[in-house]
């Protein structure tokens, strides 16, 4: 629970502390400073600071209510310069960014924690009858309780179901770090019966109950089936493997819509050049996608835009003519769906391009424009220039922000959603910079999108803990960049052990309800990152090992176009090269590895719906091991990042299903003998052991 526990506890209604941030500067070019961090989704405008002049230096001050735990933050200067706090400790977030650290601990942490000392630290003990502490998933109620690490000997869940007392249920550890620990218990529930519950904590001779009013309270929490609303997400997502397509760089299928200045396909990419990829190109390669085995495509923006990436939309109702026509796009979505491939479309509900007609009208008519309230104007007259006098994404003058709480703007945007959902065969929306629009907008957006399309998937882009948007009233999932960051630390930097790597994965898993974690988009690369193969120095063997972890962990894997072929590329624009179709041959070992993983994920229920669990045993620091369990089946994943073979011995505890498995990668048989599993993992290789009666047989 370490890195972003603070945000999770804030969502649960934990006690908060008013912390004052201070930044002192002698600079005279500063007009505004804000605090951005894990506590506000890294929103650069959410918490403004106030200046005062003292001894020739300006002192910027801002106070924020924060829960106990660890928080990462930066100061945002003039809306675009993100700097660390010079007075605080800093750490790398795994994505190449350095952030300042703030740790807030309660006063009762001054005494050391020790199991069986007959003392229980009260302040971190927390349960609220809301997500993710209380959740209904796969026919079971999930109960979570947060406690101090190494502080309580035993915790049990006391239950009364339908008025009848039930045997106490022992709670098991879900996640832990040096400060906090989360315990979990799962209980079958018919969804119709009143449930009453509380927690019993035992340490030494001390026994305490935790009820509605906290530690020491006897009153039970009540779950009324008449009022309880489970958080339901689209079930198809956990069975899906996505393929991300950057439209301009995938394939040029028609010369009719080529850009006026088209760059050669294999030329050096820049921030501005265009290669001519289009809808016809996707259709040309439809059979390749089908043969690959993927069953979902995530398209970067395809609406009319100024740039080659189209993240500056100028018309929400018009496909960019360089990609094709509206009808061609609509036909493509239906053709892909018929081939068993769902379509998720990227869209921006935060800002627009400077050629957006309503913004053009404001530029022309200034204060007299009937669209002036569609935008955030700081000062009249406005003009497009550096440091614009209107709010813009990242203070970029080419991307003015739109006021999504303006009823006219809402009507316009929601009509565009209806336009595409009624015509195209869409299965979801990926929301760009989704942490920046106000939450009120997403609470309007969700029911509108789902009104006639309950299975429509809503995926938000956030690079950290997205708990505050995943409470059942906004999105279904977020892009799981924390998975990538943990993978970078383990495979590329080798700064953490295999055990720590698995702990990081469980940490991110624990932020959400299990059904949300199974909806998370797990990625190693994207259009916003360097390609993972480049990050690990071009080591293709290690890349395959990382892919095994990606496909084995709960969530929907996303393959960035060409990743399955071994394409490389540094940060933007190097990561957006033209697709290397010359590598798309059956003899490509990387392609064959991905096909095996895709088949396993799309056909094996335990990899789709199985909860992760920790495995005990003996293995080295270069090895990471975890299991998945669903119904009466279990799978295990073991990966070795080192060059030398590793011997792994797993204790297969009583109650765990399966005595025999087949590796989906090597087809080798694996057996449990006398409660132990012995596996030899070759250097830079991996094992994905699936039930023997599964597809791998």
Active-site residue 461, yes or no?
A: yes
Query: How far is CA 176 from each of CA 113, 285, 488, rounded to the nearest angstrom?
Result: 14, 46, 21
Angle 177-183-187 from CA coordinates, rounded to 5°: 160
Tell me how far CA of residue 126 lies from CA of 40, 133, 456, 640, 691, in angstroms: 21, 9, 34, 37, 38
Helix (H, G, I), strand (E, B) or coil at 20: strand
Cα dihedral sign, 318-432-516-43: negative
Within 10 Å of residue 122's Cβ, how many Cβ atoms? 15
Paired strand residues for 143: 134, 185
Cβ contacts of residue 329 below 8 Å, gap of 6+? 279, 302, 319, 323, 424
Contact 276, 322 (CB under 8 A): yes
Residue whose pair of structure tokens reads 């614009």 in the numeric block: 388
Burial of 202 (0-12, 13-18, 19+ CB in 10 A): middle
Query: Which of these is catalytic: 461, 535, 568, 622?
Result: 461
Token pair in block for residue 54: 């003292």
Question: Which SS3 state, helix, strand or coil, does residue 513 take?
Answer: coil
Rounded Cα gap, residues 314 and 303, in angstroms = 8
432 given a catalytic annotation: yes
Q: Which of 684, 639, 665 is nearest to 542 (CA)?
A: 684
Between strands 428-431 and 457-460, the pairing is parallel
Preceding amide of 573 cis, omega within 30: yes
- In order, the DSSP letters of 628-670 are EEETTEEEEEEEE-SSS-EEEEEE--TT---SEEEETTT--EE
CB contact burial 242-252 (16+ within 10 A = b; e otherwise): bbbbbbbbbbb
Tell me how far the alpha carbon of residue 671 is from its chain's centroid. Answer: 35
d(CA 334, CA 331): 5
> 563-596 burial by CB neighbour count: b if 16+ within 10 A, else e?
bbbbbbbeeebebbbbbeeeebeeebebbebbbb
C-alpha span between 573 and 551 (Å, rounded): 27
Q: Which residues of 600-635 are buried (b: 16+ CB within 10 A; e: fewer)?
A: bbbbbbbbbbbbbbebebebeebbbbbbbbbeebbb
Helix (H, G, I), strand (E, B) or coil at 571: coil
User: What are the helix (H) ranges across 172-253?
Assistant: 247-250
* Chain Cα centroid distance, residue 296: 17
Q: CA 179, CA 568: separation in Å to the nearest integer? A: 40
**Are 648 and 679 a contacting pair, CB within 8 Å?**
yes
Judge if the upstream peptide bond of residue 132 is cis by omega within 30 degrees of 0: yes
639 with 624: CB under 8 angstroms? yes
Q: How far apart are CA 441 and CA 404, in angstroms?
A: 6
Catalytically annotated residue among 320, 322, 432, 436: 432
Give the residue numbers annotated as catalytic, written as ranges.
Answer: 432, 461
């Amino acid at each position: 629970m370490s890195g972003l526990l603070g945000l999770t506890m804030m969502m649960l209604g934990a006690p908060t502390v008013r912390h004052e941030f201070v930044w002192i500067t002698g600079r005279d070019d500063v007009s505004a400073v804000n605090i951005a961090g894990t506590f506000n989704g890294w929103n650069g405008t959410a918490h403004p600071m106030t200046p005062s002049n003292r001894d020739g230096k300006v002192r910027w001050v801002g106070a924020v209510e924060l829960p106990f735990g660890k928080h990462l933050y930066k100061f945002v200067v003039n809306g675009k310069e993100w700097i660390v706090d010079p007075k605080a400790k800093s750490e790398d977030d795994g994505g190449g960014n350095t952030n300042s650290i703030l740790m807030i601990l309660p006063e009762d942490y001054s005494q050391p924690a020790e199991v069986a000392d007959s003392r229980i630290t009260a302040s971190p003990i927390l349960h609220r009858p809301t997500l993710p502490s209380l959740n209904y998933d796969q026919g079971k109620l999930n109960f979570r309780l947060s406690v101090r690490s190494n502080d309580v000997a035993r915790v049990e869940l006391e239950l009364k179901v339908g008025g009848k007392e039930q045997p106490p249920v022992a709670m098991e550890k879900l996640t832990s770090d040096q400060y906090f620990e989360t315990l979990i218990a799962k209980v079958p529930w018919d969804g119709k019966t009143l449930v009453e519950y509380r927690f019993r904590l035992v340490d030494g001779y001390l026994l305490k109950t935790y009820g509605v009013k906290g530690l020491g309270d006897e009153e039970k929490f009540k779950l009324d089936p008449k009022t309880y609303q489970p958080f339901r997400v689209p079930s198809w997502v956990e069975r899906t493997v996505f393929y991300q397509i950057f439209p301009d760089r995938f394939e040029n299928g028609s010369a009719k819509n080529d850009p006026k200045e088209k760059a050669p396909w294999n030329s050096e990419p820049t921030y501005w050049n265009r290669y001519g990829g289009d809808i016809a190109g996707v259709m040309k390669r439809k059979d390749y996608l089908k043969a690959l085995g993927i069953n979902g495509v995530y398209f970067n923006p395809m609406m009319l835009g100024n740039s080659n990436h189209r993240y500056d939309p100028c018309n929400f109702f018009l496909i960019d003519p360089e990609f094709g026509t509206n009808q061609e796009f609509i036909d493509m979505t239906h053709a892909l769906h018929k081939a068993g491939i769902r379509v998720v479309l990227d869209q921006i509900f935060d800002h627009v391009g400077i050629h957006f007609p309503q913004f053009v009208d404001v530029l022309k008519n200034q204060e007299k424009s009937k669209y002036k309230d569609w935008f955030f104007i700081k000062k009249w007259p406005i003009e497009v220039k550096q440091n614009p006098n209107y709010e813009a994404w990242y203070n970029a003058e080419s991307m003015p922000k739109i006021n999504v709480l303006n009823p006219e703007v809402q009507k316009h945007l929601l009509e565009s959603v209806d336009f595409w959902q009624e015509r195209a065969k869409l299965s979801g929306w990926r929301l760009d910079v989704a942490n920046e629009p106000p939450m009120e907008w997403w609470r309007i957006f969700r029911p509108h999108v789902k009104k006639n399309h309950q299975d429509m998937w809503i995926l938000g882009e956030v690079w950290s803990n997205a708990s505050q948007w995943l409470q059942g009233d906004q999105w279904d999932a977020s892009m799981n960049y924390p998975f990538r960051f943990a993978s970078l630390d383990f495979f590329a930097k080798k700064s953490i052990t295999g055990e720590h790597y698995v702990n990081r994965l469980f940490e991110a898993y624990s932020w959400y309800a299990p059904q949300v974690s199974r909806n998370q988009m797990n990625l190693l690369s994207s259009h916003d990152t360097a390609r993972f193969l480049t990050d690990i120095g071009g080591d293709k063997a290690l890349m395959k090992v990382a892919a095994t972890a990606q496909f084995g962990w709960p969530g929907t894997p996303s393959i960035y176009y060409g990743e399955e072929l071994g394409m490389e590329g540094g940060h933007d624009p190097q990561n957006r090269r033209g697709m290397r179709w010359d590598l798309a041959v059956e003899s490509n070992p990387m392609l064959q590895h991905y096909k095996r993983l895709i088949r396993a994920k799309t056909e094996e229920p335990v990899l789709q719906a199985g909860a992760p669990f920790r495995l005990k045993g003996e293995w080295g620091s270069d090895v990471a091991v975890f299991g998945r369990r669903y119904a009466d089946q279990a799978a295990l994943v073991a990966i070795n990042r080192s060059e030398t073979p590793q011997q792994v011995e797993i204790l297969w505890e009583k109650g765990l299903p399966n005595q025999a498995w087949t590796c989906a990668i090597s087809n080798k048989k694996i057996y449990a003998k006398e409660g132990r599993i012995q596996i030899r993992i070759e250097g830079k290789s991996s094992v994905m052991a699936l039930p023997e009666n599964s597809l791998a047989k």
